[in-house]
Chain A
């Protein structure tokens, strides 16, 4: 099936002038809360099965199958919680904000359905500190939903009641990592937890907890409305459904667009993003922690298999950052690593020290004081800290490493050009063996 047109964004027209915030009445007038009604008439287990069958995978970055996550909840432990991840701090990512800016009730409806399906009585929407406006919008939407009986009271014909709260973060990227989020929600320092126990067993306040991204929960609404087969018909076998893509960087029409998963990046950029400004050089597929796509990977299919096929970490948040041939990749990489070094929670030795070390080396390189062996050092660091699987508690270190590793491997000449020869004559510094010998990035399958 071809993509039938906007699903999550059905209330948000592409042209800026036509967009407006949908309040409760607007939402209901355009078919809102029908899915919830439908869901409440179903046994909860059937909804979970529906989501399993739809093949919906998490939209927050990791792409974990949403339905199976829900089935991990232990049968008899109550209360249990839903934590909605609206921390959206990944650079290049602004899709959740866009959705909430205009259509907050789609999230609330998704939350209500997920809560009913999983016998959850309390949900928390964890929203990043800088999203002042969105916090306000959600508070207002929640108040409307409460006054219309979506939350806070029994739904007709069921025993199901459910409360939902907005919890504002203080502006730390690491609080988007699901267990960092839980710590922060509990009022502690946002340090990711060691696992096990997994949140589904002992999450918020040591109770079973599901953590889902805003977009993931929004997807549940059309799934209930149209069924699993309809959802699965979009996208690819392993990546079903529609997806919000945020496009930024050197394109003529940056913004959030909805398409089915598996769309070629080139198509996305040309059909929606207004084409590249200048000549395409590179792109980051989905938030800066995913690594970089090379010039010859312009046609990469944007789905959850992108990692294996194109030598990146994954699709991530699908926040595509496009760069033209005027871009200095060393500067971009320096900025990316600066971000990770600044946002590392500081718990794990490799991440705390490694990101800061890489940042300092890149600062030097960008300032024109780089040496050829710096590139080898960067490559080595990016392959020991975090990227050597298991060496850190959470994925932040991996994010930093994939950026460094793929930038250096896919664009070695850009980096070699900026590192000068050693200043002291007669002292030979071995040339970067690994960098110079790096295989050209695969052109894609």
Chain B
């Protein structure tokens, strides 16, 4: 493996890399602004300049020192190279660039959302100078509303052009450009355009400073109060890797989490902004129907009634007269317990899966210049259809599509249904239509849905943010997600509920269920990698960007 020395540390890499790329991968810090691993290299911010020596191609024993500072983001790493970002010349350049970037920058930190995760702040501290020597008037550029989700504070912009390159190279929509020239230039949208492509909010993440801000998150929380959980987006079958940022049991925002094979550095706006359902319209008690009206009931009584109702159906109508409806929003572990419980009462219980909503076609984004696919938003709007299919296949026996189940209910073949409801608003319509008529309907649901209205018994469940587990994305990739917040008041996850109903010993955990699954022959679940968050507020490391 080729190896170079950077500031006294040995850095190795494979394949073709620039100096900065190799250093980023090896966690050796070199400051950079305009460079982003997912975008083209422009080498314009000039803060990454280093001094370097490399072996003379003619006489490899000899080292040649370049008299010039070299942009590390642009210069290929060469075996046996010696690089320093700490020489007096390199440091003088870093200080100069920091000073230049700050002369027209407002003193906004106290009112700026980016404060705390701002690379102007961090680099000022690490590479800048303490005092300002600028005695002239600052250029004041306006604040602009440039899109559905995005606000631009142009006076905070350092003109790294990452956002412009994103719209040109990743979303392919090209709404943003640099207007004007010299110190008066500004980022702006083309006349009559707004930044409203389905990936638009990624520009907020890649903006190193507080110039592009999220309207949804604006002034809602100081970032240093936020805590981070590594999760998987439940919004589509792509399984975009995300961080959930939360505090005191509330979600404040969702950020992308890098995964080279799935979503790279990006997430769709849909995945980013569809989380309000976690906090809206939630159920907080078990309810049962009594004399035509809902009454609250305890978890103990709900559990008892669930078992009794199902057993009664089997007693009265024989095996095969009950069904379990799995939700593709549940984790695979939950579905495993769900099916297991159903079969423990009725060995011929029918297993059915709510089909995910399909929104048209997959949306494929391409770099217009190269034609390379940059991102895909999946049309299938549920995270775990494949997990559900795997569980159904694993248990074998009676399984049917939801429409078939509807037939069986109509023909009085199936008399009792235990259904897990999809958590997203409006998604339970097909299930409701199919199984609403079942004489005995028990619903596990997180919110006031149609299913809840129809169910003789309902239990308040958790959304994905309140639990851990695994989803299997459309490409068959099994991905684990961490629990972000505690279950909301009196809610229990599907997993916990079935764990209790099955009278399993010990405390319920997704890991314990995976253990059980592996033992039952689902080998894929023996060693699932669990993403870890090392710092309280984990965002994508800038050095990885």
A residues sitting closer than 8 Å to B (CB atoms) are 172, 189, 194, 341-350, 352-357, 360-361, 364, 377, 384-385, 388-393
Contact = CB atoms under 8 A, between A and B. Distances in A.
A341 B183 contact: yes
10 closest cross-chain pairs (CB), A and B: A390-B68, A356-B183, A353-B100, A360-B136, A390-B69, A344-B182, A346-B185, A384-B96, A389-B68, A347-B44
Contact of B181 (A344, A357, A385, A392): A344
A194 B42 contact: yes
Nearest to B33: A349
A215 to B, nearest CB: 27
Interface stretch (B45-53, B203-211, B319-327): B45-53
A385 B49 CA distance: 13
B44 A388 contact: no
Nearest to B181: A346
Given A353-B101, A353-B103, A348 B136 contact: no
Contacts of B158: 349
Given A189-B177, A388-B93, A388-B96, 8 more contacts: A349-B46, A350-B100, A384-B92, A385-B100, A388-B69, A389-B67, A391-B93, A392-B46
Interface of B: 41-47, 49, 67-71, 74, 89, 92-93, 96-97, 100-101, 103-104, 133-137, 139, 158-159, 177-178, 180-185
B18 to A, nearest CB: 11
Contacts of B92: 384, 388
B183 A344 contact: yes
Contacts of B44: 347-349, 393
B181 A349 contact: no
B136 to A, nearest CB: 4
> Which of B69, B135, B159 is packed against the most chain A CB atoms within 10 Å?
B135
Nearest to B160: A349
Nearest to B101: A349
Contacts of A189: 177-178
Nearest to B45: A349
Nearest to B98: A349
B182 A356 contact: yes
Contacts of A350: 46, 96-97, 100
A353 B89 contact: no
B440 to A, nearest CB: 68
Contacts of B89: 388
A353 B183 CA distance: 6
30 contacts: A194-B71, A194-B74, A343-B181, A345-B181, A346-B180, A346-B182, A349-B45, A349-B101, A349-B158, A350-B96, A350-B97, A352-B159, A352-B185, A353-B101, A353-B104, A354-B100, A357-B100, A357-B134, A357-B136, A360-B136, A361-B136, A364-B135, A384-B93, A388-B92, A390-B49, A390-B68, A390-B70, A390-B71, A391-B93, A391-B96
A249 to B, nearest CB: 26
A391 B178 CA distance: 21
A197 to B, nearest CB: 11
B74 to A, nearest CB: 6
A194 B73 CA distance: 11
B182 A355 contact: yes
Contacts of A364: 135-136
Contacts of A360: 136-137
A393 B45 CA distance: 10
Nearest to A374: B135
B46 A346 contact: no
Which of A344, A350, A364, A384: most chain B Cβ within 10 A? A350
Contacts of B46: 348-350, 391-392
Contacts of B159: 346, 349, 352
A300 to B, nearest CB: 26
A391 B49 contact: yes
Contacts of B71: 194, 390
Q: Among the interface residues A348, A361, A385, A393, which one has the most CB atoms of the partner chain B within 10 A? A: A348
Nearest to B133: A377
A344 B180 CA distance: 10
A347 B164 CA distance: 13
A388 B68 CA distance: 8
A67 B308 CA distance: 95
Contacts of B74: 194
Contacts of A345: 181-182
Contacts of B180: 346
B137 to A, nearest CB: 7
Contacts of A384: 92-93, 96
A355 B184 CA distance: 12
A361 B135 CA distance: 8
A350 B46 CA distance: 8
Contacts of B135: 361, 364
A352 B182 contact: yes
Given A353-B104, A361-B136, A391 B181 contact: no
A152 to B, nearest CB: 32
A346 B45 CA distance: 10
A389 B67 CA distance: 8
A364 B46 CA distance: 28
Contacts of B69: 388-391
Contacts of A391: 46, 49, 69, 93, 96
A341 B182 contact: yes
A377 to B, nearest CB: 7
B49 A172 contact: no
B68 to A, nearest CB: 3
A206 B298 CA distance: 72
Contacts of B133: 377
Nearest to B42: A194
